[in-house]
Amino acid sequence: MLHLAFETSCDDTSIALMDDDRVLHMVTRSQLKEHLETQGVVPEVAARLHANVIFDVLHEVLDLGGVTLQDIGYIDCTSEPGLLPSLLVGKTVAKTLAHGLGIPLQWIHHIEGHMFANLLERSPEEIGFPVVVLTVSGGHNEIYLWKSLYEWELLGQTRDDAAGEAFDKVAKAMGLGFPGGPIVEKLASEYTGEFRRIFPVPLLDAKSLDFSFSGLKSAVRREVESRRGANGGELTTDDLREIAFEFEQTMIQVLTTKLHRAAEQTGIQTIMLAGGVSASQSLRLALEKLATSENYRFFAPVKKLYSMDNAAMIGVR
């Protein structure tokens, strides 16, 4: 059945036209340029930008599919979590359309959407539940035991920052742009030195599946300040590359260790990655390596487009 999915929880206005679990068309308008100046998303600004474009995005996706609203059987929309003013724009439009058309509306949890992004262009049978899944985004950092398609249990979560948030804050401290993850990843890839482990690796106690990144973030800030010197000078490109690399590798070590631990503690041999940080090629590679050495199966969203915030993951949930 044809359905529409809406995702406006942060700074992407995304609408997908789907036929059951298959993505027919998806249109996503990013607000990145508008948020560069503030080096982050101001919720009221984001909401206004969503409101400005959401009907254009809707018409575009319907036109691409050669369908009209009358062909739509139901609507899915992100309900939470996210920036409230941003969420409200998508929710209001989705609710109004569903009401006007007399069709069902399903509210979808954003993080569950990220998990289900792994089911885009891939069947549940191909994955084979149960799996342990690491959800890493700008606002969330958790490990779930995903038992069967509609059943999961929280195993661990962050006690402070989420991984993506730490990438963003570290990039800001280094005077780089927004969002931090892709910028840090690019700089780190240009570094040719060894991993010297200049930052503490926050693993908490030996069995914990929780995370804490505030100490790591502060250590990076101190390193940046000390390299800037007393008069707050510019960091050299070499400094930027090295700090980015050391931070990224430390983060990857923590995320990989915790997911490995979760697999060992549960005895589950399938590991999975979800959320915006799953766009990181370096993290994907590290988990692929873990999977090879431990004989695990490893899944991440098939396209990077499905790692980031997108409406298709809401439609497939």
Whichever of 137 and 249 has its CB closer to Zn ion, that residue is 137
Residue span 273-302 as binding mask against ligand KG4, x where in contact by CB under 6 A, dash where not: --xxx-xx----------------------
Whichever of 270 and 310 has its CB closer to ligand KG4, that residue is 310
Whichever of 94 and 300 has its CB closer to ligand KG4, that residue is 300
48-67: contacts with ligand KG4 (CB under 6 A): none
Whichever of 116 and 167 has its CB closer to ligand KG4, that residue is 167
Closest distance of CB 223 from Zn ion, Å: 29
Q: Which stretch binds ligand KG4 (CB under 6 A): 40-48, 115-123, 263-271, 272-280?
A: 272-280
With binding defined as CB under 6 A, does residue 90 bind ligand KG4?
Answer: no
First vs last C-alpha separation in the chain: 14
Q: Which stretch binds ligand KG4 (CB under 6 A): 59-67, 84-92, 181-189, 209-217?
A: 181-189
One residue of 167, 211, 213, 245 binding ligand KG4 per CB under 6 A: 167
204: left (phi over 0), alpha (psi -120 to 50) or beta: left
With binding defined as CB under 5 A, does residue 309 bind Zn ion?
Answer: yes
105-144: contacts with ligand KG4 (CB under 6 A): 137-139
Distance CA 147, CA 269 (A): 12
Closest distance of CB 53 from ligand KG4, Å: 18
SS3 of the chain: CEEEEEECCCCEEEEEEEECCEEEEEEEEECHHHHHCCCCCCHHHHHHHHHHHHHHHHHHHHHHHCCCHHHCCEEEEEEECCCHHHHHHHHHHHHHHHHHHCCCEEEEEHHHHHHHHHHCCCCHHHHCCCEEEEEECCCCEEEEEEEECCEEEEEEEECCCCHHHHHHHHHHHCCCCCCHHHHHHHHHHCCCCCCCCCCCCCCCCCCCCCECCHHHHHHHHHHHHHHHCCCCCCCCHHHHHHHHHHHHHHHHHHHHHHHHHHHHHHCCCEEEEECHHHHCHHHHHHHHHHHHHHCCEEECCCCHHHHCCCCHHHHHC
Whichever of 77 and 263 has its CB closer to Zn ion, that residue is 77
With binding defined as CB under 6 A, does residue 7 bind ligand KG4?
Answer: no
Q: Which stretch binds ligand KG4 (CB under 6 A): 39-47, 66-74, 151-159, 164-172?
A: 164-172
One residue of 90, 130, 156, 182 binding ligand KG4 per CB under 6 A: 182
Closest distance of CB 168 from ligand KG4, Å: 5
The token duo for 122 is 């891939």
Distance CA 4, CA 104 (A): 11
Whichever of 62 and 183 has its CB closer to ligand KG4, that residue is 183
Whichever of 130 and 180 has its CB closer to ligand KG4, that residue is 180
Name the site residues for Zn ion (rule: CB under 5 A): 137, 309
Name the site residues for ligand KG4 (rule: CB under 6 A): 10, 137-139, 164-165, 167-168, 179-182, 185, 275-277, 279-280, 308-309
